[in-house]
Amino acid sequence: MLEIRNLHARIAEDGTEIIRGLNLTVKAGEVAAIMGPNGSGKSTLSYILSGREDYEVTEGDILYNGESILELDPAERAAKGIFLAFQYPVEIPGVATMQFLKVALNEQRKQRGEAELTTPDFMKRVKDAAAHLKIAPEMLRRPLNVGFSGGEKKRAEILQMALLEPKLCVLDETDSGLDIDALKIVSDGVNALRSPDRAVIVITHYQRLLEHIVPDTVHVLYKGQIIKSGDKSLALELEANGYADVIEAAA
């Protein structure tokens, strides 16, 4: 589903290279965890996958279902089924959450040549998905992410993911700022979306989240490269011994 080949990327503004020859393949149905110390390029990778214009790809390619997505803008990538759950969801005063959800759903459908949802159908979908994530209706009446607690913001991200039904989900530190109960709710939400035709990339610092969302593969990102890949036991090893051994072995 996703194939990243020898990717090099830098910050557009100052030219700092962050991703330095990254290779990664994620198959449909797979849950891949990307772990790594601070500053290794984890969030940058998620932004580059989503098409954020602050980063420039200087070499290599990102293939999604066999096609390069480098020329697509974020909206086009999203319509093709790529979803990034943000580490820091953006607060947008003045944009009502429900209006945002409806526009996003229908704009994606339009780009895929599908009919727009009727209002009752839309309302039902939101209500059902919100109930699963224990999101109160009052929250949906507020402007997008405005005044949401950290946990509410993360749940709202997963709600969007559930409604938009993407094919490739990228979760950027979705566990940060969550208490145990919220972590459970969010993880259940993600697990409910696991399916043979959908891939999930979980970016995290900690093993904790991976106890709830059990990965098929674990990759260690360091200085913009994947330096080690393995199965879920690799995450446990990192938890027990830290990154130092892996980094040393790769050097």
- Contact footprint for other proteins (CB under 8 A): 50-53, 73-75, 77-79, 84, 86, 89-90, 92-95, 99-100, 103-104, 107-108, 111, 143, 160, 164
Query: What CA–CA distance (Å, rounded) separates 172 from 44?
Result: 10
Query: What CA–CA distance (Å, rounded) separates 103 from 124?
Result: 16
- CA distances from residue 230 to 40, 154, 235, 237 in whole angstroms, order as listed: 18, 28, 8, 10
Residue pair 48/55 in contact by the 8 Å Cβ criterion = yes
* Cβ atoms < 10 Å from Cβ of 250: 13
Query: What CA–CA distance (Å, rounded) separates 177 from 180?
Result: 10
Query: What CA–CA distance (Å, rounded) separates 233 from 251?
Result: 21
Q: Residue 234 Cβ, how far from other proteins at the closest point, in Å?
A: 29
Residue placing its CB nearer to other proteins in the complex, 108 or 217: 108
Residue placing its CB nearer to other proteins in the complex, 12 or 131: 12
Residue placing its CB nearer to other proteins in the complex, 35 or 105: 105
Residue placing its CB nearer to other proteins in the complex, 58 or 111: 111
Q: Residue 64 Cβ, how far from other proteins at the closest point, in Å?
A: 15
Q: Residue 83 Cβ, how far from other proteins at the closest point, in Å?
A: 8
Query: What CA–CA distance (Å, rounded) separates 156 from 238?
Result: 30
Residue placing its CB nearer to other proteins in the complex, 51 or 215: 51
- Would you state the structure tokens that stand for residue 95, as one six-digit string? 């944009």
Q: Residue 86 Cβ, how far from other proteins at the closest point, in Å?
A: 7
Q: Residue 74 Cβ, how far from other proteins at the closest point, in Å?
A: 4
